[in-house]
Structure 1
Amino acid sequence: MATSEITAPSGLGPPVARWRMWMWAVAHAVDDLYQGLVLASVPYFVLERHYSYVAASGLTLAATLGSALPQPLIGIAVDRLRLPRLAAAGVLLAGVGYGLSGQAGPYAVVWLLLLLSGLGMAMFHPAAGRAARQAAGDSVTGMSVFAAGGTLGFFLAPVLATPVLVSLGVGASVLFIPPAVLVAFVLARNVRREPVAGHRQATGRDQWRPFAVLTVIGVIRSTVFAAITTFIGLYWIRYLHGSQVIAGVALACFLGGGVVGTVLGGRLADRLGLVRSVQLGAVLVAPMLIGLRLQSGPLLSLLFAVLVGVALNIPFAVLVRLGQDYLPARPGTAAGVTLGLSVSVGGLLAPVFGLVADANGPQMVFTLLCFVPIAAFVLGLFLSPPHHLERH
């Protein structure tokens, strides 16, 4: 079994680095908030605009396509041209695109606005991932704070959207634009204060083979994540016979566990090493899913919803950091793939489980999910530690 070099915990660094790390974490939370808001708003578009299920899925597809396809190219551009204000422009576009979608009339305009919102997310991740890595330095814990910001934003989306859209309608999406404007302003001002030279730049030979393995592991993780977030509510209602409120609590437990797991994964990686942390996360997910699947009541199952969220997200920040270590001269490209492309591809694969649910119910989805993490663990055995990097 390949093991990773164990690095000493380094916390979040000096005060300036801590400030930048938290700034990027908050920005990541706001950016990914809009990804969650798109998903949370789809039912309200259906109810108010009388969209078909196909049209509703098309809205999700628009945001996913906008965020998935351009990210590798944007990552390459960030590595070559730096583009320091791209992250600010990205979060602004993500917020404005989503915010105006509820005000738009024709379906084609709504679709285009959500596509642009997804493009904004694609612009944000490579640039932000590169800047966050510079702020975090050698600390995986620091990168986990950045990654946890995105998980937190996704978690907050349904919490914030439900009362607003229920009381005011889908047109109230415009009320969610101000956070994007504020964060874009802060990021744009910060760019002028950050040094354009003198930061530590990692050098070394790119390791494309382990990076490809890591990317597939990321796709597997995000596929499980997308399937759970899509079907956990139906599983609680139709199989565990819980109420709609308990079903919502189950989703919140899973996503809340994900925030905890993301931060925990960074701390474990600082102590155990990067590769071991990825392997550990893959080992823990299957038993937690099996424990969830074996429960027959809606309340005790909530504990396993939390544990599944924790285990599934232990490798999340580590995947981002390890990907950048495999491609030391291309941190933007690595972040675009691990933070953006692999997550979006996982979402595109989720409809496969929808076919399973239509034929056999949501319980069969969770039965199959118990086996999926095994593939991630097997692939994890082929990961090699990153080469020692020279820094100057």
Structure 2
Amino acid sequence: MPLDEPPPANRPPGDRLSPRTSITLLSVGHSCVDVYQGAVAALVPFLVAERGYGYAAVSGVVLAASLLSSVAQPLFGALTDRWPLPWLLPVSTVLGGAGIALCGVGDSYGLTLAWVALSGVGVAAYHPESARVARLVAGSGGSGHRGMAWFSLGGNLGFAAAPLLVAAVVGLGGLRLTPLLVLPALAGAALCLPVLRELARRRAAGAGATNGAGRDDRASFVKLSFAVVCRSIAFTGLSTFLSLYATQRIGGGTAAGTAALVVLYAGGAVGSVLGGALAERWGRVAVARWSYLVATVAVAGVLVVPGPALYLCVALTSAGLYVPFSLQVTLGQDYLPSRIGTASGITLGLTVSIGGLASPLIGGLADATSLRTALVPLVAMPLLSWALFRTLPEPVVPEADGEEA
């Protein structure tokens, strides 16, 4: 069923959710989960101020959440490939929120690490299964591309909203108020329940019968994974150092750096949605390939264009790097149709984590030379992604997905 198609006329209107409604609920739920990915870094200043943690201590807290979440996602993906576990959506959402909510309770560093790690496990368990469910409710073809784009947008918005949420709660009352941060998780868990009931109805009606998965194209999936790693290095490197770089290049104090980050994240939100619409007309591989060419030129522009024009280059960089984001998830699923959970876990988690490991190298190079020099290698990252996409085929997708709900 296309994403914008209403329920069949011979079914009562309230008898089932339309694909559009299901994707909307999943997207908002995704936003509620990814709040907790961004909340860890947002809590760092408060952990330093109230508990006196040093740089090494807070780095351990961030690592406990991000690395565990990213590396564990393929493991949960492999698990859901063997046994579809839609109930993981509400359970993992609550775990993600509970860990962050409890990390401000008590002064024990060990318990803080444990609670943050629990949140990371919840986030890791959520993404592969939620991506599988989003694919099921959105369908294949153009509607599936648009559906995954909106689903990805929800996560991007949740991540970007995390600092505002933490500032509103913890900034007013300190770490003792972190239990209030569980509220988005409770909302997200409730939002996914109607979608799970719809999947259960489809399975009971025989709509989820298995039609047989296609053949895995592992070589293409490996190339895609390397392209995602290169994309992650470019985006993570820029998001880590862009604020400081913009302040140095433009002046204007921290406001200039904050504005650059806002443009970077806002461009990502636009790119996520735009990618699905463009892919419907020109295909995912072609759209991703051209987007990475745009990103290559734009990243170079960030380093050489003077004055306020820097912001235009940042916006083009963000759009160029985010247009392929959701397309890469569905491409990975289509390259590994027999292991959709594993494909989702790798494209959403593991490759992003590997890309993030480059940030300390960029920082070390900046200490030894200059920040501008250290950012120069980032120009090559989207170019490598473009080169890898030139070798990728557009997978042939069956008219209807055959996974079980």
- Normalising by structure 1, report the TM-score: 0.92
Aligned 1:1-392 pairs, distance under 5 A: 12-14=4-6, 16-138=18-140, 139=143, 140-194=145-199, 195-196=202-203, 197-199=206-208, 203-297=213-307, 299-389=308-398, 391=400
Residue 343 of structure 1 and its aligned partner are, at CA, apart by 1.7
1:137-180, Cα deviation, whole Å (9 max, x unpaired): 12211110011111111111223323433332233332221110
Instruction: State the SS of the aligned residue for 2:357.
Output: helix
**Alignment check: 8 A CA contact 1:204 1:387 kept:** no
Q: Is the radius of gyration larger for structure 1 or structure 2?
A: 2
Aligned length: 383
**How far has the Cα of 1:308 moved from its partner?**
1.3
In structure 1, the partner of 2:13 is none
Task: Name the CA distance, whole Å, in 1 between partners of 2:168 and 2:197.
Answer: 38
Where does residue 5 of structure 1 map in the other structure? none
Contact 1:20 1:135 in 2 (8 A): yes
Contact 1:32-1:150 at 8 Å conserved across structures: yes
Partner of 1:335, secondary structure, is: helix
In 1, Cα distance between equivalents of 2:270 and 2:297 = 18
Shift of 1:85: 0.6
| Larger displacement relative to structure 2 (378-387 or 180-189) | 180-189
Task: Give the distance between the partners of 2:79 and 2:119, measured in 1 at CA.
Answer: 19
AA of the residue aligned to 1:352: L
Give, in angstroms, the shift of residue 355 of structure 1: 1.2
* Compared CA separation, residues 251 and 183, structure 1 to 2 (3 A): same
Question: Which piece of structure 1 moves more, 361-370 or 82-91?
Answer: 361-370
Q: CA deviation at 1:13?
A: 3.9
**Bigger CA drift: 89-98 or 368-377?**
368-377
CA distance in 2, matches of 1:276, 1:388: 16
Kept in 2, the 8 Å contact 1:279–1:380? The answer is yes
1:56 partner amino acid: V
Single out whichever of 196-205 and 320-329 deviates more from structure 2: 196-205
Q: Distance in 2 between matches of 1:250 and 1:172?
A: 30
Compared CA separation, residues 295 and 156, structure 1 to 2 (3 A): same
Report how far residue 307 of structure 1 moved.
Answer: 1.7
Q: Note the C-alpha offset of 1:131.
A: 0.3
| Aligned 8 A contact 1:239 1:363 in 2 | no
- The 1:162/1:228 distance shift into structure 2, 3 A limit, reads farther
Q: Is the contact made by 1:12 and 1:141 (CA closer than 8 Å) also made in structure 2?
A: no
Letter in 1 for 2:215: R
C-alpha separation between the residues in 2 aligned to 1:364 and 1:170?
39
AA of the residue aligned to 1:384: P
| Counterpart Cα distance in 2 of 1:26 and 1:67 | 20
Would you say the 8 A contact 1:261–1:313 is kept in 2?
yes
Which residue identity does 2:324 align to in structure 1? P
Compare 166-175 and 52-61 and name the one that shifted more.
166-175
Classify 1:86/1:315 alpha carbon distance in 2 versus 1 (closer, same or farther; 3 Å). same
> Secondary structure, in 3 states, of the residue corresponding to 1:203?
coil
Q: Which moved more, 1:148-157 or 1:10-19?
A: 10-19
Specify the alignment match of 1:3 in structure 2: none
Q: Name segments (4+ residues, structure 1) moved above 6 Å.
A: none
Give 2:11's aligned residue: none
Which amino acid in the other structure matches residue 188 of structure 2?
V
Q: Using the TM superposition, give the Cα deviation of residue 136 of structure 1 relative to its aligned residue in structure 2, in angstroms.
A: 1.3
In the alignment, residue 14 of structure 1 is paired with which amino acid?
A: P
Give the root-mean-square deviation of aligned CA atoms: 2.0
Deviations along 1:81-135, one digit per CA (max 9) or x if unpaired, are 1111111111111111112112231111111111111111110001100000011
Structure 2 residue matching 1:84: 3-state secondary structure: coil
Cα deviations by residue, 1:361-383 (Å, 9 ceiling, x for unpaired) = 33223322122211111111111
Query: Structure 1 residues 360, 160: CA separation in 2 closer, same or farther (over 3 Å shift)?
Result: farther
In the alignment, structure 2 segments of 5+ residues that lack a partner are 8-17
